Amino acid sequence: MSEPTFTPRVFSGMQPSGGLTLGNYLGAMKRWVDMQDAGGFETVYCMVDLHAITAKLLDPDVLRNNTRELCAGFIAAGIDPEKSILINQSQVPEHAQLAWIFNCIARMGWMGRMTQWKDKAGKNAEAASLGLFAYPALMAADILVYHATHVPVGEDQKQHLELTRDIAAKFNHDYGVEFFPITEPVIEGVATRVMNLQDGTKKMSKSDPSDKTRINLTDDADAIAKKIRKAKTDPDPLPEVVGGLETRPEARNLVNIYAALAETTPQAVLDAHSGAMFGHFKMALADLAVEKLAPISTEMKRLMNDPAEIDAILGRGAERAREITVPILERTYDIVGMLRS
Ligand code: TRP
C-alpha cells in the first residue's frame, strides 16, 4: 500500500500567558511569518487558551485580555489572517474533542515521563490538575486535527512533539489505518534564542522581576533604545570571528540579536563591526531595533484599542479552521466506531 500524502501544513501555538518579548518575536513569531511568506505551506497559528488554564486558573478578564493581546502581537508581527489561519484554540471545538480520543490512546507512563509535567507539577503532583497531566495530549490534538506535517517550536517542546508522533503512530497501528501524519518538528536554532539583557546566561523572560532585562513588544522607541544602551556588555571590542564570542555571553547575545533583526549571520555582523567598542555597536543596534520593533508596538496598540476587530478576525479564523478540522474529526470518530447520524 502506498503511503498517503498529506498537504504540507504548518501548525504552531503559543500560550496567552500575558506579555510578549523580543524573545517571543525572534524565536517564534518571526519564524512563523517567514514560513507563512515562503509559500509551499498552509500555515495555521493558534493561541492556546485551553492550555493556559492547566497550571492554574486565571482571572477570566485577564485571560480574555491576554488572548486578544497575543492575537494583536501575532498580527503586528506580520501574521496575515488572510494568508494564515489565525485562531484561538477554544473557538475551534474539534481540538478538545480530538484530545479526548488521544487521552484514550496515550498511556499514563508516557505522560508521566514528560519533563515539563515533572517540572511544572513539582513535588506536589497530587495537587496538580488533571489538565496539566493531559496537556501534551491536547497539544497532539492541536497539531493532528489539521493533519499538520511541520511544527516549528522551541527546544523545550521537542519531547511533546515526540509524544505527538507516538500518539499518531499508535492510533494508526491500533486501528490499522494510515490516517494521522507523523509530524516533523522544526526546532528553533540557538541563533534565535534571545538572552536576558543583564545576564547573557539566562533566557530573556517576561516573568523576570526587572524590566531592564527584556524588550517587550509593547515598548516604545525610547524604551527600546534605552534598554539596549543599558544592556550589560564587557570592555573588549567586538571580535573578528564568532568563536571570539564564546566566553562572552552578553556580547554574543547582542550580536545575535543584531543578526536576527538584520536577517543576516552573526559572522556578517562581525565583518561589519569588528574592532568597534560596545558603546558604539549598541547605538547601531538600538537604531536597528527601533526601526524593526517600534512599528510592531504601534500596530499592537492600535489593535488593542479595537477588540471588536480582533474578535472578528478570530471568528473568521475559526470558520476557516473548521473547514479542515470538522472532516478530520468526523473521520476519526468513524474510525473509532462512534455512531454518526
Ligand atoms: N506547548 C506549547 C508551548 O508552551 C504551546 C502549544 C500548544 C503548541 N499546542 C501546540 C506548540 C501545538 C506547537 C504546536 O510553547
DSSP one-letter string for 214-242 = --BTT--HHHHHHHHHTS---SSPP-SSG
Instruction: Band the pLDDT of 188: cuts 50, 70, 90.
Output: confident
Which residues 6+ apart lie within 8 Å of 335 measured at CB? Answer: 175, 177, 179
Mean pLDDT in the chain?
96
Find the angle CA(133)-CA(138)-CA(141) to the nearest 5 degrees. 150
Q: What gap in Å lies between CA 137 and CA 149, rounded to an integer?
A: 17
**184: DSSP letter:** E
Domain residues for the domain of 264 are: 211-301
**Is residue 199 a part of any domain in this protein?**
no
Strands 184-187 and 85-88, bridge-based pairing: unpaired
Looking at residue 3, its pLDDT comes to 61
CATH code: domain of residue 280 = 1.10.240.10
- Cβ neighbourhood burial of 275 (10 Å; 0-12, 13-18, 19+): exposed
From the CA of 136, give the closest atom in ligand 1: 1
| Global pTM value | 0.95
Q: Determine whether 123 is an active site residue.
A: no
**Is residue 4 a part of any domain in this protein?**
no
Same domain assignment for residues 138 and 26: yes
Q: What are phi and psi of 213, to 5 degrees?
A: -80, -10
**Is residue 203 a part of any domain in this protein?**
no
Has residue 201 got a pLDDT over 80? Answer: yes
**Is residue 166 a part of any domain in this protein?**
yes
Same domain assignment for residues 232 and 166: no
C-alpha cell at 184: 516533523
**41: DSSP letter:** S
Which residues 6+ apart lie within 8 Å of 38 measured at CB? Answer: none
Residue 24 CB less than 6 A away from ligand 1: no
How many angstroms separate the first and last alpha carbons of the chain? 31
Mutate to test the pocket of ligand 1, among 24, 70, 160, 165 (most ligand atoms within 8 A of CB): 160
Looking at residue 192, its pLDDT comes to 73
Which amino acid belongs to residue 95? Answer: H
Q: What is the largest CA-CA distance in the chain?
A: 73
pLDDT tens, position by position, 99-129: 999 999 999 999 999 999 999 999 999 999 9
Same domain assignment for residues 256 and 153: no
Residue nearest to atom 3 of ligand 1 (CA): 14
